[in-house]
Structure 1
Amino acid sequence: MSFDARPLTDPVDPRAVRAFAAELRARGATAMSGAAVFAIVVVALMAVIIVPTLASVMIAVVSSSGRGLGWGVIPFALVGIAVVLGIVLSLVGWRRSRVTRYRLNRFAQANGMAYLARIADPPLPGMIFGMGRSRASSDVVRGTRPRFAEFGNYQYTTGSGKNSTTHHWGYVAVKLDVPLPNIVLDAKGNNSFGSNLPASFRKAQRLSLEGDFDRYFDLYCPEGYERDALYLFTPDIMARFVDNAAQLDVEIVDDWLFLYTQRKVSTLDPATWAWLFGTVGALITKFDQWARWRDDRLLAEHRAATASAGMTTDAGALPFAAPAGMLTPPPGVAQEGRRLKRGVSWVTVAAAIVIGVVWIALRLIG
């Protein structure tokens, strides 16, 4: 997929940056998190109160000593320098974020796409989008040709108080033609101590594929859908994933395909966009054959539903028996194939055991 990367690096007009920032504020598209608001308040207080106060104290110390600058001024000077440096860095980061949003908007326009600064609680079915709280996508770039694709950065928070943790992800969401079984490819190249995914799955759903595919991914599919996974992941499609997405975790859920990474996806780095566009371009050329997949279990589900309602299940009397073309299942996935069954990560179990042992030891010592 060719693209124009010049807006990511070309010089920017400061007036245009300010105008775009004002436009985003007017649209309410740059809602800040509580942490960002707190940081701005702290910086403002430092600029208005702390710096003048430190300056006054230093003047008073010098005046009272009557001997000019001395060693007693050094602690105040160091604190003042630290405060000023913090203010300067905060202002630089604020300006950089405005320039980043402006560049990404220009980049999206140059490539026939759209830019959204922030989406609160994005309505996507992928595993990372149902975790924690304070869920939000940022710097989203999305397009509709040759099919809908969205590139964004995402974060959510788990825990509370001092134990809260903010998790950061980058993702690509690609719309498929039909719903497919929930399939996860856990890339081995980005794992450290076990899987880096925020969810774990029962080992019985692990499916081994032919060739070298298992060296790069652990594939999980719902039990009973092994043949369907083999139909979807033909050798040529497996080769596409190995060659282009071996460092990305993959999830197919409903009529979406997600690519996950724990680094920013929407960035000012042209090489990152080249990699992602190339990956999506290599994969979508094979999605047409996925559109032909149908789930025969839907027929069984319908027969069971009609039987439980007291209706006849004779083939000639089924509602979809006429016209004859409806004998083929419609697009969709039976209930048992829509979601993988979750499991417990051995890393989580090991951590819980260690914490338990330490707690018991501390209790015995105390």
Structure 2
Amino acid sequence: MTSPAPAPPAFDARPLVEPVPPGAAHAFVQELKRSGRLPSGSAAVIVFVVVGIVVLFGFGTVAVSLITAVFATIASAMAGSGEAAGFGIVGAFLPVLFIGAIVTVAVVVGVRLARSGEERMYRLDRFARANGMSYVPRFDDPGLPGMIFSLGSSRNATDLVRGERPRFVEFGNHAYTTGSGKNKTTHNWGYVAVKLDVPLPNIVLDATSNNSLFGSNLPASFDKDQRLSLEGDFDRYFDLYCPAGYETDALYLFTPDIMARFIDHAAALDVEIVDDWLFLYSRRQFSTLDPATWAWLFSVVGALLDKFAQWARWRDDRLAHSSPVQDAVVAGIPQTAGAGIPSTAAAQSVPFVAPPQSLRPPPGVAPQGRRLRQRVPWPAIVVIAVFVLFWILSQAGVFGALLGGLFGG
């Protein structure tokens, strides 16, 4: 008699909120560094010191100048009185005391931030262990095939919580930067990555609930002729994009029961299927110390996992025309009807081979279905161009000259 499969561990969020033993978080982070799981924080320290120096000599210099000027004015006004000397002494020492206060505040804030970061990593590691998962503090340039992982520079994923059963699932926060100098922008995302059984066509579900005035909040735009309308209320919650020619395949994958799962549990998230991965995206952090966020994410993944088995049976019929196995079968059966050789004899010349039409295509996606065609976001470009043109004309004094010509005479 076979023993029943062990029940999955119950969701346990206590490590996210329970007290941390004194010194445990710092010791944990030091062990991460010794084992190479966490890069050295020397770079962060250098950045903190440089920023502190800039602030100190920038803001501090201005503040000291103002204080000195105020006390000089007061001392000048009180010239000849006995209190003028006292104000002069206080005015000489007050800038030093002020700079000392700034340094003290900076040190206290830096220490608290460091401790807060250590406690965060400690709690997330204990939370992952309590739920049968593992924790990775940072992974630079993760290289996943999703649309957010190949953009910008300084790409990194942080606070990764990974599970291996019943399939690989990764929760994390991803950041990358675009632009340079004053136009440098950091983009932050939360994501869930789920490993699928087979590669599938590139399909995007763009959630309508998080769109902005200019449309989708996703970093990529897709040709409108790739949008597919599904039955029921699905279009109220998602805009579905699939490669041209794969409409029937998308309908096979998104059956009514699967559409209902996405509507009920993932309507606030953008979804991308690419290669053998499914990604859930949001502009908010996913890997946090908030138990409610984790309970929601676990419920979303749990609701979808048991439906992915249906997708494992999907095959791309287009690969049947380029399958090496089928090409070999076809090559081994001479097409000799015109040469007077009966087809039955031809079939018997290749023993133990099933008829070509019974072969299933191998797992995979034909080249035309692997990636959606992206389009240029013209509305956003037009708006930006208008603002840039307005700024150029205003800097050139065109508007001032125009107004002067209209009202000056």
**Do both proteins adopt the same fold according to a TM-score greater than 0.5, normalized to the shorter chain?**
yes
1:174 corresponds to which of 187, 194, 208: 194
Find the counterpart in structure 2 of residue 202 from structure 1.
223
Q: For 2:322, what is the secondary structure of its paired residue?
A: helix
Say if 1:47 and 1:87, in contact at 8 Å, map to a contact too: no
Distance 1:233 1:266, change over 3 A: same
Q: Residue 224 of structure 1: CA displacement?
A: 0.4
1:232 maps onto 2:253 in alignment: yes
Distance 1:13 1:33, change over 3 A: closer
1:67 corresponds to which of 86, 105, 121: 86
> What pairs with 1:203-218 in structure 2 (closer than 5 Å)?
203-218=224-239
Say if 1:43 and 1:90, in contact at 8 Å, map to a contact too: no
Q: For 2:47, what is the secondary structure of its paired residue?
A: helix
Q: For 1:14, what is the secondary structure of its paired residue?
A: coil
1:281 corresponds to which of 294, 299, 302: 302
Q: For 1:92, what is the secondary structure of its paired residue?
A: helix
1:28 maps onto 2:47 in alignment: no
Q: Residue 49 of structure 1: CA displacement?
A: 10
Distance 1:211 1:47, change over 3 A: closer
RMSD: 3.8
Higher Rg: 2
2:12 corresponds to which of 4, 9, 29: 4
Aligned-partner residue type, residue 142 of structure 2: P
2:360 corresponds to which of 328, 339, 357: 328
Say if 1:301 and 1:334, in contact at 8 Å, map to a contact too: no
Find the counterpart in structure 1 of residue 116 from structure 2.
96
Q: For 2:197, what is the secondary structure of its paired residue?
A: strand
CA distance, structure 1, for counterparts of residue 42 and residue 26 of structure 2: 23
2:313 corresponds to which of 260, 276, 292: 292
Find the counterpart in structure 2 of residue 349 from structure 1.
381
Say if 1:213 and 1:238, in contact at 8 Å, map to a contact too: yes
Distance 1:102 1:46, change over 3 A: farther
TM-score normalised over the length of structure 2 = 0.77
CA distance, structure 2, for counterparts of residue 161 and residue 33 of structure 1: 24
CA distance, structure 2, for counterparts of residue 33 and residue 249 of structure 1: 33
Q: Residue 161 of structure 1: CA displacement?
A: 1.9
Say if 1:180 and 1:332, in contact at 8 Å, map to a contact too: yes
CA distance, structure 2, for counterparts of residue 9 and residue 203 of structure 1: 46
The answer for unaligned runs of 5 or more in structure 2 is 1-7, 73-82, 336-345, 399-409
Aligned-partner residue type, residue 11 of structure 1: P
CA distance, structure 2, for counterparts of residue 203 and residue 53 of structure 1: 56
CA distance, structure 2, for counterparts of residue 80 and residue 100 of structure 1: 30
Aligned-partner residue type, residue 382 of structure 2: A
Find the counterpart in structure 1 of residue 403 from structure 2.
none
Say if 2:133 and 2:161, in contact at 8 Å, map to a contact too: yes
Find the counterpart in structure 2 of residue 222 from structure 1.
243
Q: Residue 27 of structure 1: CA displacement?
A: 2.6
> What pairs with 1:300-311 in structure 2 (closer than 5 Å)?
300-302=321-323
Q: Larger relative CO (CA 8 A, sep 6+): 1 or 2?
A: 1
Q: For 1:272, what is the secondary structure of its paired residue?
A: helix
Distance 1:111 1:353, change over 3 A: same
Find the counterpart in structure 2 of residue 18 from structure 1.
26
Find the counterpart in structure 2 of residue 118 from structure 1.
138
Residue range with higher mean Cα deviation, 224-233 or 31-40 = 31-40
CA distance, structure 1, for counterparts of residue 178 and residue 333 of structure 2: 49
> What pairs with 1:74-153 in structure 2 (closer than 5 Å)?
80-153=100-173
Q: Residue 196 of structure 1: CA displacement?
A: 0.6
> What pairs with 1:31-70 in structure 2 (closer than 5 Å)?
31=39, 36-42=44-50, 66-67=85-86
Q: For 2:132, what is the secondary structure of its paired residue?
A: coil
Say if 2:172 and 2:287, in contact at 8 Å, map to a contact too: yes
Q: For 1:125, what is the secondary structure of its paired residue?
A: coil
Find the counterpart in structure 2 of residue 358 from structure 1.
390
Say if 1:225 and 1:337, in contact at 8 Å, map to a contact too: yes
Find the counterpart in structure 2 of residue 261 from structure 1.
282
Say if 1:46 and 1:83, in contact at 8 Å, map to a contact too: no
CA distance, structure 2, for counterparts of residue 142 and residue 166 of structure 1: 25
Find the counterpart in structure 1 of residue 407 from structure 2.
none
Q: Residue 112 of structure 1: CA displacement?
A: 1.1
Identical-residue share of aligned pairs (%): 57
Aligned-partner residue type, residue 20 of structure 1: F
CA distance, structure 2, for counterparts of residue 248 and residue 182 of structure 1: 17
CA deviations over 1:287-328 (Å, ceiling 9, x no partner)? 11111111000012348x969xxx6896989x9x93559711
